[in-house]
Structures are given as structure tokens and as C-alpha cells.
Chains A and B, each alone.
Chain A
């Protein structure tokens, strides 16, 4: 059981910055994210794209923003449950919340902050007839353990980096790899595209373009995929079909936690502290809504800051808290580090 002061669901920029503001108030944070790395959309969708409206950064790449935030919060030693999605929220007898993930990891905290952005990232599933019947029976959207594909006949579909990278990787261990893409052009890294081209030239993989998987066949387990290649249908025998079309966010189980939801977002009290209709549960960043809401990273930072003040009062109702400026008080990390402005000194000129 993981215990913390503030449990943050969603490790995007807003969730990460909340760790800093909480740290200034000596509150410890733990973050849960369905992605295997922090950064949310900034890491998953557009790490190489510039952002121009982060105060004091005329231009910053989304991936660099995440790196900087991780550096900024490092003194407060945040801990993470990554690659897992929070599926249930239960209030305990002593006014704490128990949050459990899809893998059964349990977290206990007096304050829960939902900073889930547009939701949990889930694989985009192509509209192929019978696809869902074979999920886990030959169809997988995420490769967790490559060894599973040892000496198997694998069909991969997609035209981006993950389809290319896994084609290159699995070629070494699978009995055969067929890569299927709707166009002749691939949008992955040039280096990966060239490697796949070489593998194709050497006959070590099958490349079918422009082609599309249109149906799946098998009884209990997948036997073959039906492919439309240049107008002709053909069957390709395989043990595994791996559609790799990226991820898309879905609000998911959070929608069933008894929170007030409006147009796929969590309603919060923005005039006060971004608390939801469940006292002790807050929602900040793109996941919340209130009159005048703007889905901007900079607004998420503001919301995180106000939320932390309220969370402090909830955790320590009897303690006084005075806003301190970091320039005056410095940043005292939980790791014993202390960052502070250098002291001015007086020297006499003789």
C-alpha cells in the first residue's frame, strides 16, 4: 500500500507542477499515470512541438517543458505508479481515499487530485470486424513482453514509429513479421524507415502497402488476417496481430466515481480551490470545467497552486499557513537540498 499526502492522478504538466507547490507546503506527492513516462499529452502526442504561451518561455518544446518540470520538482522526491490506470476511488473510515489501479496497486491519501487531462491514454483500435473477439487471443495493442512473440508469425499494422520500431525489433525473434500500412509513405523516424526498407530488401520481413487488414479469422484463437492489398483480398496466416495506431485519451473509469461530470469534464469550484463535489477530491488542468475554463497549461499551473493551499488546510486544519515567496524562503527539498537566493552583504569602501 502506497501512502502519501496528495495522490495525483495524471502526471502531465499540471500534475507535475502540483508536486512543486505541494512541496513548498511540505506535502508529499505520489503520481499515477497510465503512460509509462511522465508528461501526459506533452510526452505522448507532441513532445517535439513548440509551445509559445508558457510565461517566460518565448518558445519551449513540449518534451523540454516536461524535463524542466521534472527537474524543478526533483527536490520534493515525487514517487510514481506508471503504466497503470486508476480505476476505483473509495473513501475509507478515517477520511482517507483508497485508489486502486487496473493492476491492483493500492494508494491511500487524505487528498486526491485528478489531473488526468483528457483522460487515460488507450490504444486506438482500427475498425476491423471481429477485432475485439480476439483481444488477448492473438490480438494485442501493446507489446509488454516481446518474448511472447518468439518463433511466432506476427502481423503488425500501422505507419508510425511504434509500428516501424516493433517491426525491426520483432524481426529478430519472431518466425515471421509482416508489416501492413495503408500507404506507401511512413511517418516514422527516417532511420527506422530506412531500416525497415533494408529488412524488406533482404527478404527478412514482408511489407504490404498500400494495404489494410479488413477481417480476422480463427476459432478460439486468431489463425489469420484478411488483407485488402491493391483491391485484392488475401489471407495471411498468423499467430499474432498487433495494430499500432497510437493512443487516444478516454475519460474512462473516473466517470463512474460519483463526480459531477459535464461534457466529459469534472465540475469544480473555481471560485475557491478546484475541489469537486466530493470533499477532498480536487480536479485541475484540462480534466476540469467551470465557467470560463480554458484548457491551457498555464491555467493548470495556477489551479495546481490554489489547490495545494486548500489541500494543506484539509490535511492540517489546525495549522496556520502563510504564503512564502521562494526568493525569500528558498526551496528546501525533502532530499535535504536547499536552494536559496544568495545573501547580499555590506562592505565598507575605505
Chain B
């Protein structure tokens, strides 16, 4: 059995939540947030076709680069920064254990 990883998520009120994420059921960050009932809408269901799960990566973890779809969506999203990512495109893996991430403002 794979060990859960930990994600530190800062919500829009600045409150930090420690999330425990399993690795064996292919979850992404948007889904983990929804499972914890955090205010992430995930309107498009994870297709990188809305920006409701946009977040800012605040730790120095190396994460896979943005895909073309994600890049395109972020180019039309609001409040975008260099460290912006769509939560739905970040798969849970050992490489992101301890990730610190902040939710972008809702649109």
C-alpha cells in the first residue's frame, strides 16, 4: 500500500489546511480539494477548460510543466502569476509530498 502524501493548502481567507492525499486512486489537486470540501468548484470536471481550480505553487517542488491545454486556459484566466497552475492538472505523486499551494481568487 502506498503511503499518503501531505499537501499544505492555503485557502482564500489565508487559512492553511493540511491535506492527506492517497496515491493509489489517481487523484489530482482539484479533486483532493473537493474531497476536503474546500471552495474549489472544478466547473469543467478537470478538463483544463475553466480556471476555477487555479492555484499558486508556493514551495519549490518540481512539478511537471504545464500542458498546452493548461497553458491555453491560463492565458485566458484572471489573476494569473508565474507560479499559477490549474489544480486539476497536478496529479498526486511522491514528488509533490509537502507541496505548499495557495488558492487563486475566485472569478
| Co-assembled chains A and B | yes
**Chain A contacts to B: CB under 8 angstroms:** 41, 45-46, 49, 118, 124-127, 158-160, 181-183, 185, 187, 245-246, 248-249, 263
B36 interfacial contact with A, CB 8 Å: no
- Given A45-B49, A124-B107, A248-B107, verify A182-B44 contact (CB < 8 Å): no
- Is B47's CB under 8 angstroms from A185's CB? no
Residues of B within 8 A of A159 (CB): 72, 75-76
Residues of A within 8 A of B75 (CB): 159, 181-183, 185, 187
Residues of B within 8 A of A158 (CB): 76
Interface of B is mostly: loop
Contact pattern, B 71-86, Cβ under 8 Å of A = 1, otherwise 0 = 1100110111000000
Interface of A is mostly: loop
Residues of B within 8 A of A181 (CB): 75
Counting from the closest, the 3 A-B pairs by CB-CB distance are: A187-B72, A183-B75, A127-B78
A41 to B49, CA, bound (A): 11
A97 to B31, CA, bound (A): 38
Known A-B contacts: A124-B78, A124-B107, A185-B75. Give 13 more (CB < 8 A). A45-B47, A46-B47, A46-B49, A49-B47, A118-B41, A126-B78, A127-B78, A182-B75, A185-B72, A245-B76, A248-B43, A248-B52, A263-B37
Number of A-B contacts (CB under 8 A): 46
Residues of A within 8 A of B76 (CB): 158-160, 182, 187, 245-246
A159 to B51, CA, bound (A): 14
A295 to B1, CA, bound (A): 29
Residues of A within 8 A of B88 (CB): none
Interface size, chain B (Cβ < 8 Å): 17
Residues of B within 8 A of A124 (CB): 78, 107
- Is A127's CB under 8 angstroms from B43's CB? no
**Chain B contacts to A: CB under 8 angstroms:** 37, 41, 43-44, 47, 49-50, 52, 71-72, 75-76, 78-80, 105, 107
Residues of A within 8 A of B52 (CB): 248
CB-nearest residue of chain A to B44: A45
CB-nearest residue of chain A to B41: A118
- Is B43's CB under 8 angstroms from A118's CB? yes
A249 to B71, CA, bound (A): 22
